[in-house]
Amino acid sequence: MSLTLQTLAEITGAELHGDGETVIEGVNTLADAGPRQLSFLTNSKYRPRLVETAAAAVILSPADLAACPTAALVSDNPHLAYALAAQALFPPVMSPPGVHPGAVIDDTAVVDETAMVGPGCVVGAGSVIGAGVSLGPNCVIGARCVLGEGTRLLASVTLGDDSRLGRRCIIQPGVVIGGDGFGFANDNGHWVKVPQLGGVRIGDDVEIGANTTVDRGAIHDTVIGDGAKVDNLVMIAHNVEVGEDTVIAGCAGISGSTRIGKRCVLAGGVGLVGHIELADGVTVSGMSLVTRSLKQPGVYTGGVPSQPHADWQKNFVHLKRLGDMHRRIRVLEKELAAARSGEPDEQQVK
């Protein structure tokens, strides 16, 4: 889609500097943008490329405007302005409504006439597919599922029985929602399956990345709140609760019955043990392991940043000796305290 800079300024709420009639046909990086493309500057490390850009216009902050050699859309939040501009220039391609002949729909399922059901899809008994819903090829919808208005499932998404998705959700390829949780009881070394009887409830405007899994609850439902965003390859176990507008990055693993508050951020590779709580506004740095509840907002870090291999080897040798070093220090502290107790009092000396 082609839009003028004036139109993009109105869409993004940015302040226009330059010719508002300039036509924009796409977006690109500062280094690669051409004369009919829009670029953006959201990271200061790329500021040196701004002065050489051939873009028709650049989205940037007020602090960077003086260095911009071309038209600009000035915003206090350039990243957000870029997102809105890109959405306007590249609106999602909506599939025409209808049910593909290769789809299998149970007689008791309800499919809105404005929904699209692609080839190879299966919709189970009692499920409801809402207005404007799109099911990509080979999606499997179990029994008694509900998909809210405008929700889109891309290719090969599986919803287990009793999964409920709100409005305008986007579920990327390969996601499994509502599979059995990891529940087993030990019988003298043998594992006996515990039936997983709950479902999954997902709010409005949730996006879930490719090949992520969200397990059904053991008794009560697993819940993901409105506006939450979950990256690729994330594991969300049974009875987890994820608060509104929380963001979970790739390869995070969340154990069962964990409760995560609103507006939290879990960076890549974070691991959470089960049955703990994270307060609203908690941020956990990448590769951190959380083993206890975090009851105050803030940033928490438990990972070890990378370092030269030789340094790591030296430090690890000391790490293995920490117990012995601690014991020796305690002995020295006691000896020092005993020695000091035999010294004359400073006040008496004076």
pLDDT tens sequence across 101-117: 999 999 999 999 999 99
Is the pLDDT assigned to residue 350 strictly greater than 70? no
Distances (CA, A) of 344 to 35, 82, 333, 341, 349: 84, 73, 19, 8, 7
**Identified catalytic residue from 79, 100, 238, 309:** 238
Write out pLDDT tens, residues 134-154. 999 999 999 999 999 999 999
Residue 344 is predicted with a pLDDT of: 62
In this structure, the answer to whether residues 73 and 126 fall within a common structural domain is no
In this structure, the answer to whether residues 17 and 36 fall within a common structural domain is yes
In this structure, the answer to whether residues 16 and 155 fall within a common structural domain is no
Is the pLDDT assigned to residue 21 strictly greater than 90? yes
Q: Residue 345: inside a domain, yes or no? A: no
Q: How many domains does the chain have?
A: 3
Average pLDDT taken over every residue of the chain = 96
In this structure, the answer to whether residues 199 and 181 fall within a common structural domain is yes
309 is a catalytic site residue: no
Please report how many Cα atoms fall inside a 13 Å half-sphere around the Cα of residue 31, on the Cβ side: 5
Paired strand residues for 201: 164, 223
Write out pLDDT tens, residues 40-83. 999 999 999 999 999 999 999 999 999 999 999 999 999 999 99
Task: Give the least confident one: 111-115, 166-170, 343-347.
Answer: 343-347
In this structure, the answer to whether residues 72 and 145 fall within a common structural domain is no
Q: Which of 64, 89, 114 represents a domain boundary (last residue)?
A: 89
Confidence of residue 304 (pLDDT cuts 50, 70, 90): confident
Amino acid at 47: R
Write out pLDDT tens, residues 193-242. 999 999 999 999 999 999 999 999 999 999 999 999 999 999 999 999 99
Measured between alpha carbons, how far is 172 from 153 in angstroms, rounded to an integer? 6
The count of other CB atoms within 10 Å of the CB of residue 286 is 16
In this structure, the answer to whether residues 178 and 217 fall within a common structural domain is yes
Residue 26 is predicted with a pLDDT of: 97
Rounded to whole angstroms, the maximal C-alpha distance in the chain is 102
Integer-rounded Cα radius of gyration of the chain: 28
In this structure, the answer to whether residues 218 and 286 fall within a common structural domain is yes
The length of the chain in residues reads 350
123: domain CATH number? 2.160.10.10
Q: 81: domain range?
A: 3-89
Residue 38 is predicted with a pLDDT of: 98
In this structure, the answer to whether residues 120 and 200 fall within a common structural domain is yes
What percent of the chain lies above the pLDDT cut of 90? 91
Continuous segment of H or E residues that includes residue 60: strand 57-60
In this structure, the answer to whether residues 7 and 124 fall within a common structural domain is no
In this structure, the answer to whether residues 194 and 319 fall within a common structural domain is no
Contacts of 178 (CB under 8 A, 6+ apart): 142, 145, 158, 159, 160, 161, 162, 163, 199, 200, 214, 215, 216
In this structure, the answer to whether residues 318 and 262 fall within a common structural domain is no
In this structure, the answer to whether residues 271 and 321 fall within a common structural domain is no
Instruction: Write down the pTM of the prediction.
Output: 0.90
Confidence of residue 343 (pLDDT cuts 50, 70, 90): low
Average pLDDT for residues 312-318, to the nearest whole number?
89
